[in-house]
Each structure stands twice: as structure tokens, then as C-alpha cells.
Amino acid sequence: MTIRNLLDNLKQNSTLDKDNLLLIIEMLVDKIEELEKPKYNNKNSELVNRLSRVYIPNLSYIDFINTIKIKSIDVFFDNFNGTLTNILIQSIKSSDNIPFILLQHKPKTLFVYNNDTWNICRNSDLEKLNESISKQLIKLINIWQKHNIVSLTNDTIYNKFYALFNNILSNKNKKITLIRNTLLENIEFTNI
């Protein structure tokens, strides 16, 4: 019996007793649990299981994020997107075993290794990467600002400084797209 059938029967009989109410609640809880399960089709689920058996990187996703260290913001003033892209490319190239994988037969699907398993990379995963990089850039901007407070009176430098902060703090969806595209373009395909 579906929830809809049960409700229709209750409308016709006009009796809502404790047992019927509990039955409705149980059915709703079952539906909610079903909806909360990851939505992998069987092919993706099998693929994730196979990846977990065949390839395990040295770093989990969180460990990879923690290895990203930004030391200079010199380039950052001229091109925010270029700087973000360069940070990602350098992080990928400097790590022997990154927690991302691209498969030849799924070239637009980025997989990420975290919590001892592979999963399809979601925007929420990339948001963590963006937050980590943004925090580091804000700290570097603060240091730069303290050392260059005198030159901030110059309108040009002030405008660049303002644009810099604005780029870091806004356009989250564009940055997530940029991060995803940079990863897709710079991670080599794997045959599994």
C-alpha cells in the first residue's frame, strides 16, 4: 500500500486512529531514508567499488586540500581566475598521487577519494577546496596590506585591492565551475 492509497482510504472512512497515523509515519520515514541514499545507478556504484579496489591514492581529499600552500600573491593582482587556476595546476603537479581520477569512458565525470572511498565529485566537495584557497589568499592579502598601507592611498592600488577581495568573496558558483574545469583539463585519464 502506498501513502497516497492510505490517505485516500482514510478520507473515505474519515477515521484517523493511532495505528493509521503510525503507519503513515513509518511509510514517510522509509521514503525519506530512500531519498537520502546516494543516487548512484548500478553502473556508477560498480565503478566506485572497482576504483576503491584498484586505485587508492596516498592522500585523501582533505589531506590534499591541506597540502595546498600559497606563498605569494604577486600574480593575483592582475588576474584572479588565472591565479586560482595556477594554484590548482601547481598543486596537482606537485603531488605524486592526487585524490582525483578521470576515466576515459567518463571524461566529464570527476571522481574524488575521501573517507576511504571514491565518489563522484560534487560541488560541495569543490566548495571545500575553494574555501581553503580563499582563506589562504585573504590571509596573504592582509599581510600584504599591512606592509603596503602607505601605498593603499593610491587609487589604482586601492581599486585593485578592492577588486581582489571582491573576487575572493563573490561568484562562488563561477569559482566552483572554474575549479571543476581546471581539474578536468589537468588530470590525466586513467583506464580502469
At residue 41, the pLDDT reads 46
pLDDT digits (tens, 9 = 90+) for 138-182: 888 777 777 777 766 667 666 767 777 777 777 788 889 999 999
List the chain domain ranges.
Answer: 3-36, 57-190
d(CA 6, CA 11): 9
Q: How confident is the model at residue 37 (pLDDT cuts 50, 70, 90)?
A: low
Closest to 81 measured CA to CA, from 177, 175, 144, 162: 175
pLDDT digits (tens, 9 = 90+) for 95-151: 777 899 988 888 889 999 988 888 899 999 999 999 998 888 888 877 777 777 776
> Quick one: angle between helices 172-186 and 80-94, nearest 10?
40
- Whole-model pTM: value is 0.67
What's the rounded mean pLDDT across residues 63-82?
74
- Strand order across the 106-114 sheet: 117-120, 106-114, 100-103, 189-190
DSSP string, 28-58: HHHHHHHHHS----HHHHHHHHHHHHH---S
At residue 32, the pLDDT reads 77
The grid coordinates listed for 140 are 596573504
The grid coordinates listed for 94 are 606537485
Listed range (3-12, 33-42, 68-77) with the worst mean pLDDT? 33-42
The percent of residues in the chain predicted with pLDDT above 70, rounded, is 80
The grid coordinates listed for 100 are 582525483
